Chain A
Amino acid sequence: MPELHSRLLSSSAWIGFRTLFGKEVMRFWKVGVQTVGAPVLSALLYLLIFAQVLDRRVTVYDAVTYSQFLAPGLIMMSVLQNAFANTSSSLIQSKITGNIIFILLSPISWQSMFAAYTLAAILRGLLVGVGVLLVAAPLTHVGVAAPLWVLVFALLASALMGALGIIAGIWSDKFDQLALFQNFLIMPLTMLSGVFYSLHMLPPFWQQVSHFNPFFYMIDGLRYGFFGQSDVSPWLSLGVTAACLVLVTAIALRMLASGYKLRT
């Protein structure tokens, strides 16, 4: 009997997790024009404007045009921003409207909650990433040299930002506070990460500073997947990205387990 009971419990836990994951996916998919279409469009605009202006003037690696160089950076930028937006906006909306209570009342464990929110963020990050790739590829003729690296970096980066979004969404009590995260953390780190330039184009001091920016490694790692060459070794990028993911996951899990700002 106890065994049967625990089996029933684990099957109900699995359905609970899948339901929450499905709900989080539906939440962004129902407004897909905003959550997937819009970021793809803005990446396309960046690509058209920057690439047209700079293509003939700047070369980064041999045989890589500027617009080709830009494409992976834009893809990663879109993945990062959208994975973050998915968890953080879902949580803050649920908190402000109060409907988070339905999840808190349910038997869904904090581990399942973390997994469901983060996986939905990964899915949105990847969808947007694929969308940007699909519009960028015919424009820039960018090819993928090492698909596995591309996949690994896209996955890890979206997981990292999904988890960071959980932290931001739980910590913030209001939308303004969430905007602080966006404007003072995500945006500067993105702009100073080498989306638009290679590190080697910077003065030495700023090159050093960039090495402390985790976003730089995620973008550089993704570039390696596209071109087979990058500013630093993909293994270093992988290590830094994975370490950040572990750290952020640990913090998010602790917050969920303790009920920080969710349960009184």
Chain B
Amino acid sequence: MSAISVRQVSKRYDPQSTDALRDVSLEIAEGEFFGLLGPNGAGKTTLISVLAGLTRPSAGSASVMGYDVVRDYRQARLSLGVVPQELVFDPFFTVRELLRIQAGYYGVRNNEDWIDEILTRLGLADKANANMRALSGGMKRRVLVAQALAHRPPVIILDEPTAGVDVELRQGLWEFIGHLNQRGHTIVLTTHYLEEAQALCGRIAMLKQGQIVALDTTHNLLHRFASHCLRVRLERPEAALALGGEAGADGWVEFALEHCADVEPLLARLRAHDVPVQDIELGAPELEHVFREIMHRA
């Protein structure tokens, strides 16, 4: 059974506007760590909203853990924990009160141990009795993550959970989420920090203008185009441009290469053109390059 199944979903908010989602189909297996990437306005949040029942699709259907998000909405929502993109909070309550309430909405009571674990893992232990109003922006974001986890959902969707969060927590957050993933939780993540997605996600879908333009394992995506990047600093960078390089700052020139084996011939050609190399770096494949390439081509 798929943890998440999206079947030909389209969404148009207003009759006049264009489709926020167009014929999107997607299967995410149980236990996956899945990335949903795309530029602003691509439809990531809309897709998540469809899964969460915040938005009704104009066409198509979706299910979570086999439960249709419209027909069996109660079961579908019980299976799901969502970290919303917007930084929202209830100013009436303390962090701990909020997490108790949150768990209660899902029929879970007396789970103080779990609440304590979440608080500790997210660096909120000393804020447990602080009022939400008194927290900084990044702290509020952590509470949003904690709220999504309060009922231990099998499927966890995080819509830009690291926006505005400091380096230390990002590290801690991903460790914790990774740990949950190892324990069998399915994770879906959107982020604009592509190095995060590259490091964490086993599979990635890229959305553009409401359509899926790439869907593959992270490994395959990284090797789909030129997978390595050779950066050289040259005395006369202009000369290298004719050989297919791309100029950067400070005399650096970048060459996209398919394989490591292509490095030697390239250096030979530079030598043949009498362009001395002052410095050299071999970059591993970067999702950011692939992302830009795919968005450019699609």
Contacts and interface: CB of A to CB of B under 8 A. Distances in A.
A106 B106 CA distance: 6
B189 to A, nearest CB: 17
Interface residues of A, number: 31
A263 B77 contact: no
Contacts of A264: 13, 49, 54-56
Given A105-B77, A107-B73, A15 B54 contact: no
A49 to B, nearest CB: 34
B230 to A, nearest CB: 47
B56 A259 contact: yes
B130 to A, nearest CB: 15
Contact of A20 (B82, B88, B97, B105): B105
Nearest to B89: A99
A20 B101 CA distance: 8
B56 A263 contact: yes
A99 B54 CA distance: 13
Contact of A23 (B88, B91, B101): B101
A27 B49 CA distance: 27
A27 B93 CA distance: 9
B105 A103 contact: yes
A15 B107 CA distance: 5
A20 to B, nearest CB: 7
Nearest to B147: A102
A99 B105 contact: no
A51 to B, nearest CB: 37
A103 B84 CA distance: 13
Nearest to A110: B73
B104 A19 contact: yes
Given A9-B75, A105-B52, A106-B77, A16 B90 contact: no
A102 B55 contact: no
Nearest to A103: B105
Interface in B82-114: 82, 84, 86, 88-93, 97, 101-102, 104-109
B273 interface: no
B88 A101 contact: yes
Contacts of A259: 56
B102 A263 contact: no
Interface of A: 9, 11-16, 18-20, 22-23, 26-27, 30, 94, 97-99, 101-109, 259, 263-264
Given A9-B74, A19-B101, 18 more contacts: A12-B78, A13-B74, A15-B109, A16-B105, A19-B105, A26-B97, A30-B92, A97-B91, A98-B88, A101-B54, A101-B84, A101-B88, A102-B147, A103-B105, A104-B52, A105-B80, A107-B73, A264-B56
